[in-house]
Structure 1
Amino acid sequence: MVTAERRGGGEGVRGLYPFLYPGPGGTDADAVAQAAASTREKVAEIADLRRRVAALHATRIVECARDMAGRFTAGGRLFTFGNGGSSTDAQQVATTFLNPREGRPLPALCLTCDVAVVTALSNDAGFEVVFARQIAALARPGDIALGLSTSGGSANMLGAFREARARGLLTVALAGYEGGQLAESSMDGVLDHLFIVPSSSVHRIQEAQTTVYHILWEATQHALRDSTPIGT
């Protein structure tokens, strides 16, 4: 039920979510019908986008998983990072690899989880190096750097990948739109794997990226199944 309080929301909210507000002479039933139609539309959008991503990247996801499995088998660790909503996704990636409901636990750390470190680096050195500095301090050759971005243009992401490449890490990036700066020639030789979700909707990009990294985890588990135990 759409309440009177909701109907009284500002035009800003009304402009973003018009289906929550009955039009002139409209009813709550009209608003519910519009909300349902909007939901169906968004479900169709993400289903179509996931099919497109599968067509674009399925083979390359398997290749990336094999590379990651090789690093893990040799004792490598996974470092994940991102900004804003992508920071939350980066934390989920690390959690998925480190504490799976099934399969082999793998060493993983998200570089946004320690608030003290993030704020210290941001305040003292600058936000553009908040990930690169952590990679410089923690990572070693044979590790993995995985970053998520919707725009593909965040300076701290670009810097982190360059630092990771210089230190011999496997570099994996997920981006939206057309890939942003992560897809430009300046990143040639910096990224081992780049998965672009071809959408201009931040919501749809992040939803599709969630699918990509869960499949990447599953494919990595498959690749590891018959490999040498980690750390040996």
Structure 2
Amino acid sequence: MTAPDHAGDAADMETLYPFLYAGGTRADALLEDARRSAEAKAAEIAALRADLADRHGEALRRCARRMAEAFRAGGRLLTFGNGGSSTDAQAVARLFAGPPPPAPPLPAISLPHDVATLTALSNDVGFEVVFARRLAALGRPGDIALGLSTSGGSRNLLRAFDEAARRGMVTVGFAGYDGGAMAEAGTVDHLFVVPSSSVHRIQEAQTTVYHVLWELTVRALEGAP
């Protein structure tokens, strides 16, 4: 029986992770670079969030009041997005539907997480309509359609907002960069743009914004101005 080649395994590991095998001075330099990078990223997202508070503070309050009106009238929240934004769509729906006590649970559905319907529509009709068709099936006047994108240009989100606007739904959008096509479409009642070209910073900031929106909506339902 041939003995395992542990030396070869070690060489492979060093090729993949050279910083683990670096000598003292080089390892210290790598750790210092990592520290500086982490601090720079933390400072960047903190500054971006502070900017968003000034940029969108009043707009978030208006949107929250409108969403509270929709929920009082029996409306539901339908969320959607692609890729990482689909995970955020699920997080938004869970936040509204299953919040920590004593906040009230509110009716919310994440459209991307009906995988059977999403894949059927993608295969049989086309990926551009996966959210629009779901809104056509589920959406009612007074419901809330909330879509998230980093680029603001996802065609299936634009189609979904078109459908939502036709059905008299309240439309809420999250986008990055300069808002992209979502900012130009005229179908998004409340649009929150994160002015960054970094997908990571955009999604981190969007997480903060939708948590603030949820909190303000709960306060509006409780009668806070």
Relative to the length of structure 1, the TM-score reads: 0.87
Extract structure 1 runs of 4+ deviating beyond 3 A: 3-7, 20-26
Q: List alignment gaps of at least 5 residues for structure 1.
A: 15-19, 228-232
Q: How many residues align?
A: 214
By how many angstroms is 1:27 displaced? 2.1
Q: Is the 8 A contact 1:22 1:30 kept in 2?
A: no
The aligned counterpart of 1:45 is 44
Cα deviation digits, residues 45-93 of structure 1 (max 9, x gap) = 0000001111110000000000000000000000000000000000000
Aligned ranges 1:76-155 → 2 under 5 Å: 76-102=75-101, 103-155=103-155
The aligned counterpart of 1:204 is 201
Amino acid at match of 2:60: I
Aligned ranges 1:61-72 → 2 under 5 Å: 61-72=60-71
Relative to the length of structure 2, the TM-score reads: 0.90
Residues 205 and 137 from structure 1, CA distance in 2 versus in 1: closer, same or farther, beyond 3 angstroms?
same
Q: Is the 8 A contact 1:173 1:194 kept in 2?
A: yes
Cα deviation digits, residues 11-56 of structure 1 (max 9, x gap) = xxx9xxxxx6899995222211111111001000000000111111
Amino acid at match of 2:136: A
CA distance, structure 1, for counterparts of residue 56 and residue 191 of structure 2: 9
Amino acid at match of 1:159: R
Residues 38 and 87 from structure 1, CA distance in 2 versus in 1: closer, same or farther, beyond 3 angstroms?
same
- Compute the RMSD of aligned alpha carbons: 2.1
Amino acid at match of 1:64: C
CA distance, structure 2, for counterparts of residue 110 and residue 29 of structure 1: 46
Q: Is the 8 A contact 1:82 1:148 kept in 2?
A: yes
1:193 partnered with 2:200: no
CA distance, structure 1, for counterparts of residue 190 and residue 21 of structure 2: 47
1:220 partnered with 2:217: yes
Q: How much identity, in percent, do the aligned residues show? A: 58
Q: List alignment gaps of at least 5 residues for structure 2.
A: 1-9
Q: Is the 8 A contact 1:140 1:168 kept in 2?
A: yes
Q: Is the 8 A contact 1:21 1:31 kept in 2?
A: no
